[in-house]
Every structure is written in structure tokens, then in C-alpha cells.
Structure 1
């Protein structure tokens, strides 16, 4: 079975989507529509912007979403048996499996980015990547430090943690003492996928509730519980819960493999997910669309 996976924040690069825009009238139409919806020329930033400009909150999440969703929407070969997205990528996955329209999803992604930015400003906080420790060891250390939680289960031996600045600093020291190969603070503006994102979750919840979802053409394996979902109510609830809960990417890929996923195709900028899938399941076939 074919699984399509969609990357999250961090996959952006200058020039992203330009080849799509130039080679497909349908893609051009989606990009032009995105500029209208967002009220600024995001395509210009995607095609010509510097790394610094692409890192702006109002740009990053919509840019990665647009590139990923349009790649799937205009591909003649796109025939998914299952889909999943890493964090922000879950919105692209929901467009790909027809649960959300491109336009509605882009509005939600834009609101999500701005709500997360606001939450970051309210609670100065950060994240760190922990390499080379068992998940259970990382979880145990997080439990011992107030305000620190596991945030992204990326692959075995790679877990990102989230929390207050002081908490993350203390956690990194403890992780190194426990034998981590690296405990690396990340250049992010806040503690994503942690309880510190509660103000953003509340804001996004009302926007998601007000948005029309349709029955998907295939299940989406959601970050919140790493299980396949086709029920609209469950999909909405999990999408809301995602902001303050960890991204269970390792578990999602394992579940897809257990359900027959053998070929994983990454839609969007970069190849990060292809690398993670291979680390989670060596026998998986991986490619980009």
C-alpha cells in the first residue's frame, strides 16, 4: 500500500515551489489563490526570499503547506491508500485526502501560525533535540523537570523536547549525563507541542470548529494518537489536540507499516521525512513526489 507523508516547519527553502508554478497552470492557480487568501505575495517570498524572510512565522507555515498541498493536488500519480503529516504537515495531508479544501486549510494554517506566535510571546520557551537515548529515558527525565515534555517522537533515538527556557537547559544537562550523544537547543521561538501552546490551541479550536470538513478518501494517521482516522469529528478533535500534545511520528509510521504501508512518498519541500521513515522501518521504500 502507498502512504503519502507531508513535512512540517523547517523544510522551507528559497525557491520552493517555483518549478511547480512554472510547469503547471493548475499549480499557478493555487499559488495565486494563496496570495489572495493571505493578503500578501507569499509566492514572491517562497521563490525569491532569503532564509531569514522564510523563517518569519506568518510565512513559514503557509509556505510549507502550500508547497506540499499543491504538489499532491496537481500530481496525476497521486493515489493514496493512507496519509500522514508531521505537525503542520497534517493540514497538507487533510487536503490531500479531501477532508479539507485547499482554501480552508490555508486559512487555518495561517491562523495557526499567528496563534502559535502569540503563545510564544506570552510564554518565553524553547525546544531541544535529544539524540541517542531511548524514548523511555527521555520521558523519565522530562517527568523529573517541571515544565518540560516530549514534543516530537521523530524516530528511534531522536526525540525533541519542549518547555520553559530554564527547564530545557536543565533537561539538556541531565540528558547528557544520561548518555545522550547530543542535547541540542533548537533555534525556535517557543515550546511547540507542549501545554505552553494552550492559548494557541483555544484560538485554533474555534476556527477548526467553524470550518467545513468532508469525508476523506483514505485514512489520515494523526499525530495525536498515531491511529488511522476517517471520522470527521475525530479528525477535528485530534487536529485541535495536536498543538499541546506530542507529535507521535515514530508511532504513526509504525502503525502505517503494520496496516500494510510499504511505499512512502514525501510530498513537499525537502527529504526529512524520507530519512525518518527509513530509520523507523528499514525495509520501507521511500521517494519524493
Structure 2
């Protein structure tokens, strides 16, 4: 049986520097992995999955437990990431319940809204499922993809798409980590332009669509009324969003933020800068994968990073954050 969750930290025993120096970030699609939830079976946090299945009206546990699960479909991949992240958050929450800020990469913004009390879990599952279904359908109707420009800067990325139809900057993740999205023809032309601009490595990504580009406009339009009908509360801590890299507290405005970011670049590099401007000195990545922590280090090397995706890693947060139990 997995180990019990770590004892909650108390207000009388805050981490060095205080929770107001810590940010929590949640991953998006691409961090999914088969059987990522096995370590949580029998843990009290597993109740998250049971509640999510009731909200979704279908079994979701196989997405987290089956080593042979096909997580290539956008809908299944996004729900797997959401649930794996929420499992880890449920266990880590006693240690991280009042951070300086939170942020999520793409889909991870929905996880961030649950973590800050803006969304309840059933609403988040239904919203994530609708988002995934609509973006999947859009990708099937308008074929496209993504390519990574490795070692490139933003000027080179902008130059690659400046004279190209149907290709755009899709992710500004970190220095040397930019992504273009577009139609197959658009990406072919943008690849040629990127190499002419001095980019040495252009790598196609194994994804099903041109996410965070104008090709997702039909999905954004269809999602807007769904988000507008979803009840939101003010956040308990600021959420730094992808589309404007600014912190937000209010309950209103999420119908715009969660739909326009589908057709705009993910501004992760600027989001990390925004976290640092809020006084953050450590970033804790909660959920599967370690990509966000690596990007944080690329963006702001002075920021410490921690990671929590399993019960053991959550337990390790206690000495990492509070300097005890090591």
C-alpha cells in the first residue's frame, strides 16, 4: 500500500521565506504517460478520480492505471493530465494551500483554477472534457501540427512566420524553446524561413493539431458559451494566465481568458517573469512530467524548483520546503 500522505504543515511552521515566496505550476497536454496514477491507488487522494468519474459519466481510472492505454487522443490525454495533476495537488495541498501565485501551461490553467478554489472539480472535469473534444474535432477538420525551434529566440521565431501564410508562433516557452503551429504547408514554409533566420534545429512534435493558433478558432467559438455557463468564484491566490502573462483574481473574465488562449501563443516565458515579479523564489511543479520545472530554470535560473507527481515526491516536499524530516 502506498505511504500515507505527509503531515500537514501548520501556520506556526511556514517554509523558510514563507509561502508568499512559492508558486505552484501545473502541466498541460504532452506530460501524460500510461499508468501515471498507479502509485495513488489506495491513497486518500484517489477520491478525486471517483468524483471525476461521476462528473464525466464514464470510467476515467483506466487512463491512469492501464499501461497499454492509448493517450494519443487529445480528449484522453488531457483528462489523464488533469486527473494526475489533481491527485498530486490533493495530497500536496496541506503544504501549499496559500502560495504567492499559481499558473498552468495550457490545459494546466484549469487545474490551477481548481487549486485556487475558482472551479469545483466536477465543473473542471466537464470543462476540460469539452475543451478536449472541441480542439480534437477542430484538429481533425483542419489538419495542422507543431514544430519546435530549438535554440531559437523570439525574433527568429517571429521572422520564421512573418512572410508565411498559415503558420504562427504557438508557444514562447523559454529562451531556446519556441514552438510554431500551422497547416502542413505553412509549417513547411516556416521551417525553411526559420533555417534562413539562423535556427539550426527544427523538430516536428508528435501532436494532433495546430494548438494555440488561429486554426483553433472554431473550437474557441464553440467553447466560449460553455465556459460562460460554468460558475467561477474569485481565486484564493492569483492565477497568472497564458494569454496575457498577468495575475488574475476575479471570478469574471474566464470565458475570455480560457477561449482566446486557444488561438494565441502560450506566453510561458513571460508568465515565469510575472511569477518572479510577484516575489516568487521557488516554483513547485505539481503533476506528471518535469517539463515546466526545466522551462522555469531556463527562464529564471535564480528560481529554485521542486516537483511532485507521486505520493513519495509529495512527501519529499516536506524537507524541501520546510527544512524538516530530511
Aligned counterpart, 1:72:
89
Q: Name the counterpart of 1:225.
A: 244
Deviations 1:222-249 (A, max 9, x none): 0010000112223332112111111000
Spell out the pairing of 1:229-268 with structure 2 (5 A cutoff): 229-268=248-287
- Taking the aligned partners of 1:143 and 1:185, their CA distance within structure 2 comes to 19
Task: State the alpha-carbon separation in 1 of the partners of residues 137 and 67 from structure 2.
Answer: 24
Comparing 181-190 with 252-261, greater Cα deviation is found at 181-190
Count the aligned residue pairs: 286
Large movers: runs of 4+ above 3 Å: none
Deviation at 1:259, TM superposition (A): 1.6
Shift of 1:36: 2.5
1:151-162, aligned counterparts within 5 Å?
Answer: 151-162=170-181
Distance 1:3 1:235 in 2: 21
Report SS of the residue matched to 2:180. Answer: strand
The 3-state SS of whatever aligns with 2:168 is strand
- The alignment status of 1:56 with 2:76, answered yes or no, reads no
Which residue number in structure 2 is paired with residue 145 of structure 1?
164
Offset of residue 134 of structure 1: 1.6
The farther-off stretch of 140-149 and 112-121 is: 140-149
Q: Which residue of structure 2 aligns with residue 86 of structure 1?
A: 105
Match in the other structure for 2:33: 13
**Residue aligning to 2:62:** 44
Secondary structure class of the residue paired with 1:136: helix
Most deviating of 99-108 and 35-44: 35-44
Confirm or deny that 1:117 pairs with 2:128: no
CA offset digits 1:126-156 (Å, max 9, x no partner): 1100111220121122121011110111101
Secondary structure in 2 aligned to 1:68?
helix
Higher alpha-carbon deviation: 192-201 or 227-236: 227-236
Secondary structure of 2:206's partner?
A: coil
Q: Give secondary structure in 2 for the equivalent of 1:243.
A: coil
| Residues 1:105 and 2:124 are matched in the alignment | yes
Cα distance in 2 for partners of 1:2, 1:11 equals: 22
SS of the equivalent of 1:232 reads coil
TM-score norm. by structure 2 comes to 0.85
Larger Rg, first or second structure (1 or 2): 2
The CA RMSD over aligned residues, in Å, is 1.3
Of 164, 171, 184, 2:190 maps to 171
TM-score for the superposition, normalised by structure 1: 0.95
Query: What aligned pairs does 1:179-218 form with structure 2 within 5 A after superposition?
Result: 179-218=198-237
| Contact 2:161 2:193 survives alignment (8 Å) | no
Alignment deviations for residues 8-59 of structure 1 (CA, whole Å, 9 cap, x no partner): 10101122122223222xx2221112222223322123211426x1222221
Q: Which structure shows the higher helix fraction?
A: 1
